[in-house]
Every structure is written in C-alpha cells, then in structure tokens.
Amino acid sequence: MPAVVCLPPACAAADWNNPPFPKWSDSTVARVVTGSPWAKRKSVPLEWRKREDRPFSPSDVPGTGPSANKPFGSPVGGIGVPRTSLPYTADILIRWASALPVRQAKALYRQRDGKLDASKLDELTGPPESDYVLEIYGVPAEVAHKGTGSIEALAVGSVSMRTARGRVIKPSSAEAKLNGSTLTILVRFPRTTPLEKKDGEIECRGDFQIFQFTERFKLASMMYLGRLEL
C-alpha cells in the first residue's frame, strides 16, 4: 500500500467523486487510504509491560532470549526484520476497509502497481462487505508475540464503536494478519441495524494491552455517491 503521507486539512472536505473513480490520481488514491474521512493516521505509545504483573521484558518475546543470538529471525519467530530493542511508539492507520472508496483506492493501487488491465478493477474492488470492517494497519509485529489468536481475542473483547446518540456496537469477529514486520487487525461489526448519517459521529476504541486507541469519524463526511459509506 502507499506510504503514509501528511495531508492538508482541506483534504477532509474533498469531493471524492471529482474526478470520478477510476480516474483518480495516485495522490488521491493515497489520500483515500491514509488521510480521508474513512482513514485516520494515529501515533500510539506502546506499553511493553504487564499491567497486572511485572514489567514486560524483551525476553518474554520468542526469539529474543540468550539462545536467539543469531543474525536472522525476529521477535515473532522468524517473521519480519530482526530487532535488538522494542519500539515505544507506532504510527498506525485506522480505516474502514469495508467502505467503497477505500476498496476502490486499494483496487486502483493494485491494478497500477501490477500493471494490470483496467478490466480487473471490479474484481479487485470486490463485492460489498456484509459487515462493517475496521482495519488497524501498521501495528508492529512484536505486539503479536503471543500469537495472532491472542490479538483477535483482545479485539473481540475490547474494540467497540459508539455513536453520538449513544448506541454501542460490539464486534462479531476479528482477524489478525502478520505482514513482514507489521500486523494488520481487521475487526468486523454486524450491520444488523445499519448506521445512518443522523447518527452524527462514531467513536472507535480498543485496548490491546500493549497499545490503546480512540478515534472518531464524522458520518456526514463519509457520504460517497449519495450514500453513507462505511
């Protein structure tokens, strides 16, 4: 995916259908997935300690103990870049992977990066998601030192979204994927009672022990092609 970029405040008010997809420029594609009404960049502190117990030690992470003094491998058992110390902050992206403009931007990136025929765009965009899917992208892979299953359990147990009108929606499932030195967490929320523009704003929050996040999204800014896209 495109690198995280710094964006001017005006981007939040951009007309994302001018020019219409698939005539988006590369900079528009990058804005949609890194700094738009559907995607927020966030810097979070990483707390490498067990809150209820003793301070977290790098030796708790597989692959970093005395027997791991080899020029290869990593704190997550051979996935990613070797590290001699743990990061204390992380720049992550919190975005709605289920939103049509995000799916279209990712499709355009893949099509252009792979020099594929434009006829592949519909296939790359894929069908609408049956759930709202919140993507937490760029988490350091070391956060999954106990396995991706532990991250998925934390996501289901701690992540939630609350509307400005007070409705709380809990996840139905979660998936954590290791991608080299980073981790992507996908959190699914049911569309049982669909969100509406009149809900005003949603606040998403979660606690993964090593890091926490809170982010707000204004629904009025997430209108696309005449409908709320989430």
- Tell me, yes or no, whether 1 lies in a domain: no
- Tell me, yes or no, whether 29 lies in a domain: yes
Distance CA 126, CA 115 (A): 18
- Other C-beta atoms closer than 10 Å to the C-beta of 178 total 18
- Tell me, yes or no, whether 52 lies in a domain: yes
Distance CA 144, CA 55 (A): 17
Task: Give the list of residues 6+ apart from residue 170 with CB closer than 8 angstroms, or none.
Answer: 160, 189
Distance CA 196, CA 116 (A): 36
Which structure tokens are listed for 24? 């988006």
Distance CA 207, CA 159 (A): 7
Contact 181, 139 (CB under 8 A): no
Task: Give the list of residues 6+ apart from residue 140 with CB closer than 8 angstroms, or none.
Answer: 46, 86, 87, 90, 181, 182, 183
Where are any strands of DSSP class E within the chain?
Answer: 39-45, 89-96, 131-140, 160-163, 168-169, 173-179, 182-190, 201-207, 212-218, 223-224, 227-228
- Tell me, yes or no, whether 4 lies in a domain: no
Can you tell me the mean pLDDT for 179-184? 92
- Tell me, yes or no, whether 190 lies in a domain: yes
Distance CA 69, CA 132 (A): 43
Who has greater pLDDT, 36 or 53? 36
- Other C-beta atoms closer than 10 Å to the C-beta of 82 total 15
Taking the whole predicted model, whether its pTM rises above 0.85 is answered as no
Give 156-176 pLDDT, tens digit per residue.
999 999 999 999 999 999 999
Residue 80 confidence (pLDDT): 39
Residue 57 confidence (pLDDT): 53
User: What phi and psi, each to the nearest 5 degrees, are found at residue 71?
Assistant: -75, 10
Who has greater pLDDT, 83 or 187? 187
Q: What angle do CA 73, 207, 169 make, to 5 degrees?
A: 125
Residue type, 222: M
Residue 12 confidence (pLDDT): 39
Which structure tokens are listed for 109? 């990136």
- Tell me, yes or no, whether 3 lies in a domain: no
Contact 193, 156 (CB under 8 A): no
Which structure tokens are listed for 62? 């597989």
Q: Which domain holds residue 199?
A: 9-64+73-228
Task: State yes or no: pLDDT of 76 exceeds 60.
Answer: no
Average pLDDT for the chain: 83
- Report the number of distinct structural domains present in the chain: 1
Give 129-138 pLDDT, tens digit per residue.
999 999 999 9
